[in-house]
Structure formats: C-alpha cells, structure tokens
Amino acid sequence: MSAAIVGWSHLPFGRLSDETVESLIVKAANGALADAGIDAADVDEIVLGHFNAGFSAQDFTASLVLQADPALRFKPATRVENACATGSAAVHQGVRAVHSGAARFVLVVGVEQMTTTPGPEIGQNLLKASYLAEEGDIPAGFAGVFGKIAGAYFQKYGDQSDALAAIAAKNHKNGVKNPFAQMRKDLGYDFCRTESEKNPFVAGPLKRTDCSLVSDGAAAIVLTNTETALGMKKAVAFRSTAHAQDFLPMSKRDILKFEGCATAWDRALKSAGVTLDDLSFVETHDCFTIAELIEYEAMGLAPEGQGAKAVLEGWTEVGGKLPVNVSGGLKAKGHPIGATGVSMHAITAMQLAGEAGDMQLPNAEIGGIFNMGGAAVANYVSVLQALK
C-alpha cells in the first residue's frame, strides 16, 4: 500500500447545460483540494482524464486544471485517455507517480460534457471506442456493439432477459440513494423487463433500460503516499492496481469471456493478497447490463454462462454476498466518459471512510473497482481499503 486517497470531490452527474468542461474541472479540482485540506501549492502533479473524441471543441485540456487556482501554474499536468476507462487510467497514472516518489501529492480529475452534442454525433463519438475497420458499420453505434455481444450470449446460454432486467432494476433502486446520480428513480423490475413505448428495444435484445445514460459531470481525488496519509484526517489506501489491455477487434478474441477483465481481476486480487470473498462491495462498469452480467463471470463470482444466478438469487443486492454498484452504477449514476473511473474511486473511498451517506454499507472494509474501456479492451481494477 504505497498510495492513498486523502480527499475527493464528486459533482452531480446529469444534463448540465449551464456548465462547460472548464467549469466542471475547476469545481471538482477545488472541491477535492478543500476536502483533502491541502493548498493548490502543495500539489506536485496533475492528471486529467478526458475522453473527448469530439464532444468538446476545446481539446488539449490538461492545462484547464490550472484554472482552478493560480498556484497550480507550472505544475506538471497531463491528460490521459483510454476510452471509457479514461478516469481509471488517470487514477492509476497518479498512483504510479506517488509510488515512484516523483510526487508527494497528485491531483486527479476526470471530466466529460456529452449532452451538448447532437444525438447522431454522440453515437459517432462513442463508436470511436470500437474497431472502426470491422465494427464501424454496426447499427445503433456503441449500443449496437453490446447488442451484438448480448445476442451472442443469448444464443450460447439462452435468453437472459430476466437477468438483464434484474441488473437494471437493482442499479436504479440503488441510485435513488446516490445524491450524485443522474437518475434517482426506482424503475422496478417489471418496467425494466417489459418492452414499451418508454422502454423500446435499442440494439439486439437490449432495451433502453439496459443502456447507461449520456451524461455531463466531473469528479476529482487527491493522492499521496501512505506515510503522509497517516497524518491526514482520512485515508483510503490502494492495496493493488492492475491494468490489462486486450486486442481492439472483437474478431480476435472470445467476446463472451471478457478475458482482459478476468486477467485484471486476477492480477489485482493476487497483488492485494485477497480473494473475491474478502471484498465488501464492488463498483463495476455497467455501461450496458450485459456488461455487468459478463463481468460477474470474469471476476469469478459465477462460472461462465451462469452470471444470471448472481443477480437473480440476490448475491449482488445490498445485503447480498457481494453488493455490486451500490452507487447505482453507470446505469443510474450516469456515464460522463472521462469522469467515470475517477467517480468510481471517489465513491469507493467514501464507502470505506464511512462518508457515503444514504449509500453507506455497514462494516465496509475492502472495495473493488472495475472500469472498462471499449468492449473489454482497456481493463482496470483497483482494490482499496481504509488506512485510518
């Protein structure tokens, strides 16, 4: 445990038309610094997670973090991108800077503004996270990619519509208690299970309730070394981090196995010296409900083809053997691409520090995070535990 989170800030996710990428960055950065109780002058390095891909006319955004405070001028600042795992890529880069001794305090910010982009362009921008040479013509954009995955899963293992609806209903129910969530409404299993005018099929067997939301938002965390963290008001340490990058074309792998996800989980758990049974909860990447279903199998919660059992038998509910997406996940919380991974780390830190409010789990000791870019291409896992 060489790095720890000592402060965080999480803005509400949603349709934030009065905000800009810059204003979101500034609010999140200043919030995290204030929460950590440090001055901007104390920051040694800045890492910004911002996918962009055409959502913002302003590119080259690393220096926008400096707008938060003049004392950040001349600090090293880098923008990173790894599709929908951009936020975790930023966090892991910050952890490495602390681990190496290159920085004592690192400010990590994740941001995205998506809703000001016209609908057709949103689909085009998101599809850039697929292998365009083979997957660029799939109908319904990125939803079509996961619709194809869902269709193949159904063909191999049978109709999983009950399980997908249960995942959507679980996450929307959890999202009601998350003050940062874009959609705080318990939709119920029946609504999520039934095709209707308000819940039409979008791609393959995926309905609207199977797809995460288009969102604006930002989150930020402050990282430091564990020795420094012990002297601060709160500290949540990284027991381990793991990153496994897989082939981009789906044609080069068994897309139903999410092998990069499985590899990252295996590495992170072994490095942390824990098993899945030791985790109090997991925040996982439910960009689509089929993704969460397959992730149950990839993390080792259920055997291949049997992920449905985990949700239908209540294992992943609050109060179950391994609560998954207590925050409401991307499904209810929203999915502003560059902010998602930072959000996952901030909310996990809140849980472990006992500061999660209505979302708080009793006796939360160790939390797991899985953040994914593309269709299981960029795979990041973090295992966190309260240090004090």
Residue 273 covered by a domain: no
Q: Is the pLDDT of residue 141 over 90?
A: no
Active site residue 335: yes
The mean of the pLDDT values for the chain is 97
For the segment 233-260, the average pLDDT, to the nearest whole number, is: 98
Domain holding 47: CATH number?
3.40.47.10
Pairing relationship of beta strands 216-225 and 105-113 according to DSSP bridges: antiparallel
Instruction: Give the pLDDT band of residue 139 (cuts 50, 70, 90).
Output: confident
Residue 136 covered by a domain: no
For the segment 311-339, the average pLDDT, to the nearest whole number, is: 98
Q: Is the pLDDT of residue 291 over 90?
A: yes
Residue 67 covered by a domain: yes
Residue 282 covered by a domain: no
Instruction: Give the pLDDT band of residue 111 (cuts 50, 70, 90).
Output: very high
Please write the tens of the pLDDT for every residue from 294-306.
999 999 999 999 9
Q: Is the pLDDT of residue 110 over 80?
A: yes
Give pLDDT, residue 154: 98
Instruction: Give the pLDDT band of residue 140 (cuts 50, 70, 90).
Output: confident
Q: Exactly one of 10, 50, 84, 172 is catalytic; name it.
A: 84
Residue 203 covered by a domain: no
Residue 342 covered by a domain: no
Residue 202 covered by a domain: no
- Calculate what percentage of the chain has a pLDDT beyond 90: 98
Give pLDDT, residue 77: 98
Please write the tens of the pLDDT for every residue from 344-382.
999 999 999 999 999 999 999 999 999 999 999 999 999
Residue 191 covered by a domain: no
Number of structural domains, the chain? 1
Active site residue 211: no
Instruction: Give the pLDDT band of residue 322 (cuts 50, 70, 90).
Output: very high
Please write the tens of the pLDDT for every residue from 181-210.
999 999 999 999 999 999 999 999 999 999
Please write the tens of the pLDDT for every residue from 265-285.
999 999 999 999 999 999 999
Q: Is the pLDDT of residue 1 over 80?
A: no
Give pLDDT, residue 178: 98
Per the structure, the complete domain to which residue 37 belongs is given by 3-117+215-229
Q: Exactly one of 92, 285, 335, 345 is catalytic; name it.
A: 335
Instruction: Give the pLDDT band of residue 124 (cuts 50, 70, 90).
Output: very high
